[in-house]
Structure 1
């Protein structure tokens, strides 16, 4: 009998330990009220008014996708949205390349022909760009700025397209390198010919380009530098001082040397982010150091894809990412116009994992970007609005990972003396998870989930420890109640 009682006692202790940890490889049933040291909050406890907090942060909206519709009406459509975006906490919008491209009214702007034609000239079979007229662009920028939103220009600095044919002695054939008023450059500003592209008399080599190789601009030439950023008539000065752009997204910076971006920023300043498509954080950090520009944090993007999709292992979320060392220069994202059209599954995050990925970037350091099509998804928008609110208010202070395994990730932002901070709990298992003994900064304090993902409130102990829950295949974000 004594041996039987001892066996039952040991069995009871075993199941108690399992229920408190909630970590059983994803097979934990929905925790009941008695599982773990869960203390209900006082009846009088109320949610914080998050709108009364501000940590000085904002979020950028990528305000386009490939082949946007309606053609010629995009600037007007965005003008109708910026007021709501500002209310949601968006402080910058990134626009597609605004200048006329070879594809005319069908161009997404990356086949740039005339840097100074923003819908002003009849050029490439159209006056308006795919996105609209110059007047409509001006109205969009004015409307955005009136709502406290900066407007970021997408700048294509290396490859050109849409010029006229001319004999090119350096390639010993005809090339489409003649850009003037009659050949694709209706503004007559920054006219170009074969001498301005690799190879030429001053640069007798061809560094190569993934795009329009024969019209890869030679930035070593003073003429090209003058027209792009150095002189008061340059593209940079035109976009900043006449059009009113507030900053720059540099397209395909692998196509030219880092000093080009540095000199551009030295000349005109402004917010900046470079598209250096490389998942190696060391490469991205070296670019930050060489240019002073921000970068899209592809290291984080690929760690999110690996954690949620490719390997289904949340420990990848603790590996090296740019925001860890350069939080002010890392522009984090979960999707963009290129990743969403890429057919390779490792270059995109699956739709069913998008919100968990957004929960990560909108609670961690770095400057997050929301992709237009994700925000317009009716199943995402309210949840993204809440995540943006959390990002701009209580997602502040030092970052500390409290627990991680293959299907659970618990992270704390320590807040400040006047801001409580928050705790993110991601769960990729098929069941509700509970994790006990999470160490908070809140002693004997009621807490709740502010992401509206799980209906759960509790209180921390006098030592600040608490048991928290996360919904199946989802996330919760906890902070104090009043």
Structure 2
């Protein structure tokens, strides 16, 4: 009885199982159809999202077209300092420069500041700042050499001629404060022998502008300069009429010989702290030309007073030291908006990042570190003032192309009033307003460790901007009120202007 019940139960379950198996193919097909339809709907949706350019959808914006910078001009170019301290190879420098001037002219340079061109006491090793014979350009045998450290007089004349043919002005470096390399003579004003005898046998082979103790301080005309003493025993006394005659008054004076015979177009006056400003005015009244003084002082007020007294330009050491403080010493970009000569006399301020003195200075506070030089060049080549490029930086392969790009931007877009739009510890944003024919630019410097963006007010409404330094690819568009968000790379800079 028990076995029969179990058999009956098994048969019942088996029948139900067979019915389920009978329905399974239909259930499977139904589920397959539903799954397939769902997959097709998903694929259709994904395909629609990837399609662009269909009617009713926004088209991909075109790449902005850069301005042709060659069609814009600020009317001002830049000066090249054509040397560094202890240039090599000796006796070949004029020829070396002759090989480079064509490229410099093409890059947008308009003036060449040459090293002191005449012979110094150190002969073939002299950089010229120990002047002995103002008329020995490398044609007299004295101080152990015929050529100067830079070459011969003929090579210098060839360089000047070639530069003029390329439309470049040539600036002479003039040392008026002191002399060096004369012979010994008894000096009654000092009651001892001094090296103040400059004649054909003693450091002045040209025989022009011979000097003795009567032409240096002290003498019966004056006891000392108003300025600081340097090479005190050979400190030139400009109050002596004979000295004035030979330096700038006579037809064959130093000033007129350099201009009329050698072809120099202007002057860089060395160590102007050493003598009174009227000396510069007297020189300029005779020969004119572009002129800039080396007043080595970071106080902008001192530079302004000197420019007022002389009427000529000055190297903006105040701007130099503000850049050094901003990028190096204090790492604070607020210093970029500090007191500078260019803010008072933008047309009399000659700005620079490095020179032959700062390059060799062991004091880190007197030079801008290499890793910050390009931000400094971006600063001087976008602001007002007359920028000077240092030979060693331009010829540095790591800097060359970037400096050339900055020169092009300066010569084409750096025009109009300067307005600082924003400044803080690690960001500095400045606008050049441009004019009716020129859009101007915006400089954005950041020393931050990440990319920075900031919303600023521009003169440009509803226009796409481009970074002409190529340091960022971010191309924002301004709104109808000229507001736009611009970008600066980490520890770098960008320079924005409009596109076509």
TM-score by length of 2: 0.87
Quick one: which of 467, 471, 480 aligns to 1:449?
467
The answer as to whether partners of 2:172 and 2:266 remain within 8 angstroms in 1 is yes
What is the match of residue 57 of structure 1? 76
Q: 2:427 aligns with which of 408, 412, 417?
A: 408
1:66-465 to 2 correspondences below 5 Å: 66-205=85-224, 210-436=229-455, 438-465=456-483
Shift of 1:211: 3.1
Using the alignment, how far apart are the partners of 2:235 and 2:74 within structure 1? 43
Q: 2 CA distance for matches of 1:195 and 1:355?
A: 49
Q: Is the 8 A contact 1:197 1:214 kept in 2?
A: yes
Q: Per the alignment, do residues 231 and 418 of structure 1 end up closer, same or farther by CA in structure 2, a change over 3 Å counting? A: same
Superposition deviation, residue 320 in structure 1: 1.4
Give yes or no for contact 1:208–1:216 (8 Å, CA) kept in 2. Answer: no
Contact 2:225 2:274 (8 Å CA) reproduced: no
Partner of 1:33: none
Native 8 Å contact 1:314 1:405 kept in 2: yes
The aligned residue for residue 469 of structure 1 is 487
Shift of 1:109: 0.3
2:496 corresponds to which of 445, 470, 478: 478
Q: For residues 369-390 of structure 1, what are the alpha-carbon distances to aligned partners after superposition, in whole Å with 9 as ceiling and x for unaligned? A: 0100011111101000000000
Q: Which residue of 2 aligns with 1:14?
A: none
Contact 1:198 1:207 in 2 (8 A): no
2:268 is paired with a residue whose SS is strand
In structure 1, the partner of 2:25 is: none
Structure number with greater Rg is 2
Give the structure with the larger helix fraction. Answer: 2
User: For residue 20 of structure 2, what is the aligned residue in structure 1?
Assistant: none
Structure 1, gaps ≥5 residues long: 1-39
> Please, what is the CA RMSD of the aligned residues?
1.4
Give unmatched runs, 5+ long, in structure 2. Answer: 1-58
CA distance in 2, matches of 1:82, 1:208: 37
Which string of whole-angstrom CA distances, capped at 9 and with x for unpartnered residues, describes residues 300-335 of structure 1? 001000111111111111111111111110000010
Instruction: State the SS of the aligned residue for 2:258.
Output: helix
Is residue 166–residue 177 contact of structure 1 (8 Å, CA) maintained in 2?
yes
Per-residue CA deviations over 1:95-150 (Å, capped at 9, x if unaligned) read 11101100001100000000000011111111100000000000111111111111
Q: CA shift at 1:243, angstroms? A: 0.2
CA distance in 2, matches of 1:61, 1:205: 35
Distance 1:48 1:310 in 2: 37
SS of aligned partner of 1:43:
coil
- Distance verdict in 2 for CA 1:302–1:208, change over 3 Å: closer
User: For 1:154, what is the secondary structure of its paired residue?
Assistant: strand
Which has the bigger relative contact order, CA under 8 A and spacing at least 6? 1
> Structure 1 366/278 Cα, relative in aligned 2: closer, same or farther at 3 Å?
same
